[in-house]
Amino acid sequence: QQQVKQSPQSLIVQKGGISIINCAYENTAFDYFPWYQQFPGKGPALLIAIRPDVSEKKEGRFTISFNKSAKQFSLHIMDSQPGDSATYFCAASRYSTLTFGKGTMLLVSP
Amino acid sequence: DGGITQSPKYLFRKEGQNVTLSCEQNLNHDAMYWYRQDPGQGLRLIYYSQIVNDFQKGDIAEGYSVSREKKESFPLTVTSAQKNPTAFYLCASSRTGANTGELFFGEGSRLTVL
């Protein structure tokens, strides 16, 4: 049973455009929703995170939108840059562990 | 510099052999984790440990074993019982539980079974 569903699998965006990645979860007990960014050959690194008592969180060009009733959350990357090209993972947590989505490969074309 | 060190970065193994992947952290974190990454599958939890001398199975623990004898170290053994061991293995640590803050990842170990 996949507890965190992520879409799309891959995404191509032009430089300066908006990248949008969506995730849906099933377990209403999840209480922490981070996004991780991974470059090829490296480990993932935390990008931004949100808790369910907040509907939106913005850090620079990155924004998480959270819809608790729909059990969905999304990552928006504004003014996407070629350096943003990476794999992005959403995740959800309760207590001790993180459950990850399957990832989205983002390519920002120059 | 504080961080997580995984070794080796690349490892080749013959079928039927056990192999141990090393993970060391100097962040003074209590919790440590092992994830397996396969293309298109995301990160799947193998084992985790919240305190020395204690660890819990994750979603795909079969064919793997771990130990946590020191706070800084959390080695993973891929045994011959693991049917499809070729993968990218990631170790991570966090100050406390995963829902209270950031997981810090190492750079991974890529295991190839020949």
Q: What is the pLDDT along chain B (114 residues), one digit of tens a residue?
A: 679 999 999 999 998 899 999 999 999 999 999 999 998 889 999 999 999 999 999 999 999 999 999 999 999 999 988 889 999 999 999 987 656 668 999 999 999 998
Nearest to B21 by CA among B7, B34, B35: B7
What are the chain B neighbours of A94 within 8 Å (beta carbons)?
Answer: 99
Q: Residue B108, exposed/middle/buried by CB under 10 A (0-12, 13-18, 19+)?
A: buried
What are the chain B neighbours of A34 within 8 Å (beta carbons)?
Answer: 102
**Any chain B CB within 8 A of the CB of A20?**
no
Please give the residue of chain A at the shortest CA–CA distance from B6.
A43
Residue entry with tokens 């795909």: B60
Give the Cα-Cα-Cα angle B96, B94, B62 (nearest 5 degrees): 100
What are the chain A neighbours of B44 within 8 Å (beta carbons)?
Answer: 100
| Tally of residues, chain B | 114
- Which letter does DSSP use for residue A87 in this model? E
Query: Maximum CA pair distance of chain B?
Result: 40
Please give the residue of chain B at the shortest CA–CA distance from A87.
B42
Give the Cα-Cα-Cα angle B107, B49, B35 (nearest 5 degrees): 35
Q: What is the pLDDT of residues A33-91, one digit of tens each?
A: 999 999 998 999 999 999 989 999 999 999 999 999 999 999 999 999 999 999 999 99
End-to-end CA distance of chain B: 35
